Amino acid sequence: MTTEFYSADDAKHRMEMAKLAPKDFDAWMTLNKIPGEDNGAIPPRVREIVAVAVAHATGCPYCIQSHVQKAKAAGVTKAEVAEAVLLSAALCAGAAAAHGGLAMKFYGDDL
């Protein structure tokens, strides 16, 4: 067993899920196609900027690679990718701070 993380070779292991849970895998694949679709009000270029930001928020290295490459192909600049990443970071930090109120609530009134 390897201890390497995020190898390109990992795709074959993900495909095991398609064999073991085909209906669920197909449902996920349907969802997975949504960012690249060009059938709505949001143009593909903007969809990829959003996808880059969300990939960073969720921390998926495969999504980061895929959507940065698709964004570049769609004409997104490197500066726009950087802004999307930093917007994601700001919102994730905001979520952590906002949820900090829950930590205080659950800790209770004692200091």
pTM: 0.82
Residue 8 reports pLDDT greater than 80 = no
- Report pLDDT digits (tens) over 80-99: 999 999 999 999 999 999 99
Look at domain 40-111 and name its CATH class.
mainly alpha
Question: Which sequence spans correspond to the domains of the chain?
Answer: 40-111
Helix axes 78-107, 61-73, angle to 10 degrees: 150
Q: Which two tokens stand for residue 34?
A: 């949504």
Mark out the alpha helices in the chain (DSSP H runs): 11-20, 22-32, 44-58, 61-73, 78-107
The label of the residue with tokens 């292991």 reads 13
- Report pLDDT digits (tens) over 12-28: 888 899 999 999 999 99
Q: Which two tokens stand for residue 106?
A: 């659950």
- Report pLDDT digits (tens) over 54-66: 999 999 988 999 9
Sign of torsion, CA 56 62 66 69?
A: positive
